[in-house]
Amino acid sequence: MLLIHCPYCGEDRSELEFRWAGEAHVARPENIADISDEAFAEYFFIRDNEKGLVFERWRHIHGCGRFFNAARHSVSDKFLMTYRAGEPKPDVETVLSGEKGAGQ
């Protein structure tokens, strides 16, 4: 079982309390009504799906119910850090070095 740290509740909880909510830090087009169908499809459907370090949105559905972001290694499934929604994306070196509460 995976334990995921909720940055709002401040606790490590079972993965069963959480739901994955997609890739984090996806920039929305400024005027979505004016973009082409191809640009909209790319924004809405296309994601990186990289092997290695990924930044994702999660929701603590059986807890506080809030969305947060997580840095996770997609091969090992290890959560390297979690942080509140709206906070800037940490740089890769910070996440991999273990700063700012890595593992939480």
- pTM, full prediction: 0.83
Report percent pLDDT > 90 for the chain: 70
Q: What is the pLDDT of residues 17-51, one digit of tens each?
A: 999 999 999 888 889 999 999 989 988 888 888 89
Q: Please state, in angstroms and rounded to a whole number, the distance separating the CA atoms of residues 3 and 79.
A: 8
Q: Would the pLDDT of 101 be above 50?
A: no
Q: Would the pLDDT of 14 be above 90?
A: yes
